[in-house]
Amino acid sequence: MNTVVETTPILSDILGSLKPEPGLKTDAFNSLEKMGLPSNKSEEYKFTPITRALEKNFNFANSNPQSELNTIDKFAIADVDAHTLVFVNGIFSETLSRYNQTDLQIKPITGLEPGFGTLADYKTDALVAWNTAAWSSGFSIEVNPNTTVNKPVVFHYIHDTTKAEVKSFIRNIIRVGKSSNLTIIEKQDTVGEQPGFSNIVTEGFVEENAALSLFSLQADNGKRFHFGQTAIMQAHSSRVNSFTLTLDGKLIRNNLQLILDGEGIESHMNGLYILHGDTIADNHTVVDHRKPNSNSNELYKGVMEDNSKGIFNGKIYVRPDAQKTNAFQSNRNILLSDGATVNTKPQLEIWADDVKCSHGCTTGQLDEEALFYLQTRGIRKETARAMMLYAFAGEVLNTIAIEPLKNYVDALISERLHKNF
């Protein structure tokens, strides 16, 4: 591509703040320098003004403040017994973390792991390039073949912005060995009033007959600006379940990419965004069917209130080899106020002929007729609203198979919806 890049002040600040080591980091740095940050003309970021938001809220010439945070109890996921890995302002905190390595290997990331940098493409996405050039911490999580990992691994991405704004760059790589299973939960939270920007890239390899569950809980009521890219390669007969919950944050961009590189694969992508205030939440998903006989099923639902903005973009690729693919996608949205918006775009590119694919997206208001019906039974309008929204969300909530996690998410959603029944 021969686009001329205007070097905005923010880009020179960013480039100036990076001192990439030779190798991939330098390649990524060069790629970022060449691409520049996405402008509002960039197709992939058309509705998500991330560059402008970063310009307005951050000074990339500054470094992060120190944090004195000595507990994260209030951010813990109640009743979920897990290995917890805590990052504060982009730095791993050994003292706040609790984990052991009995059934999996948890090692600081080096960048030399096999497959590193092969799934998250730093040549096409400037924010991935930025992460690849800038990451300062993260983990390699590896599960040996034929291993049942009993506890989920929870990544706590905490920003302590009490003293100043924070920028964090984290990089992870996951490998689930043949016939093994693993659950990862990512959660973001903030203490402090200043803004924070996180750029987190995770690459995953799910080997034959293995299963990976991925949860992302984004209920950070701090000034969180976030870019995340999670890219997973699935081998034969593997299973991936993802669940992305967004309830809060200033600007949240989630790129989730599943590559179905084998037969007999099951992929489930679920998402729920219930937004208020001026939150912008953008889910870009890609399901890439490369081989025959696999199934993917995607369900994202959103409720937008106040001046919040939801964006959904769902790409499904069915490559010429991927005959007998079943690929389903559904995105349903409810707008609760005049100021709320949603942009939804399914993008199906199908090169195989013997496939079953469908997609549907809807945007509407709460069904007034149904509200009236409930009211005529003596139910307060607010309760009736909460009931219907909770039922709407329930379809996604009920996909969570881990009971205590489901209860935790349920409580978050119930609080947001003022559920009082």
Partner 1 sequence: MLSIKNLHAKIEDNQILNGLNLEVRPGEVHAIMGPNGSGKSTLASVLAGREEFEVTDGTVDYLGKNLLELDPEERAREGIFLAFQYPVEIPGVSTINFMKTAVNQVREARGQEPLDAVSFLGVMKEKMKLVEIDQSLLNRSLNEGFSGGEKKRNEIFQMAMLEPKLAILDETDSGLDIDALRIVANGVNKLRNKNNSIIVVTHYQRLLEYIVPDFVHVLYKGKIVKSGTKELALELEAKGYDWIKDEVALA
Q: What residue ranges bind partner 1 (CB under 8 A)?
A: 367, 369-370, 372-381, 383-384, 387-388, 390-392, 394-395, 421
357/388 with CB nearer partner 1: 388
Least CB distance from residue 236 to partner 1, whole Å? Answer: 36
Residue 251's contacts (CB-CB under 8 Å, 6 or more residues apart) are 48, 49, 50, 53, 225, 226, 279, 280, 282
- The answer to whether 337 and 308 have CB atoms below 8 angstroms apart is no
Is 41 or 377 the residue whose CB approaches partner 1 more closely?
A: 377
Element of type H or E holding 200: strand 196-206
Q: How far is the CB of 367 from partner 1 (least distance, A)?
A: 8
Distance CA 338, CA 182 (A): 42
As a whole number of angstroms, the distance between CA 58 and CA 142 comes to 35
Residue 116 or 328: which CB sits closer to partner 1? Answer: 328
Q: How far is the CB of 393 from partner 1 (least distance, A)?
A: 9
The residue among 351 and 373 lying less far from partner 1, judged by its C-beta, is 373
Instruction: Provide the minimum distance between the beta carbon of 380 and partner 1 in the complex, in angstroms, as a whole number.
Output: 5
Q: Classify burial at 294, counting beta carbons within 10 Å of its beta carbon; exposed 0-12, middle 13-18, buried 19 or more.
A: buried
Of 65 and 394, CB closest to partner 1: 394
Main-chain dihedrals φ then ψ at residue 275, nearest 5 degrees: -115, 150
Burial class (CB in 10 A: 0-12, 13-18, 19+), 415: exposed
Q: How far is the CB of 219 from partner 1 (least distance, A)?
A: 22
Q: Side-chain half-sphere of 101: how many Cα atoms within 13 Å? A: 9
Least distance to partner 1, CB of residue 371, Å:
9
Q: Based on CB atoms, which residue is closest to partner 1, 123 or 385?
A: 385
- What is 77-90 written as a DSSP string? -TT---EEEEEETT
For residue 3, give the 3-state DSSP assignment: coil
Amino acid at 43: E
Question: Is 100 or 376 the residue whose CB approaches partner 1 more closely?
Answer: 376
In whole angstroms, the minimum distance from the beta carbon of 378 to partner 1 comes to 4
Residue 352 or 379: which CB sits closer to partner 1? Answer: 379
- Token readout for 377 is 């039974």
**Residue 363 Cβ, how far from partner 1 at the closest point, in Å?**
17
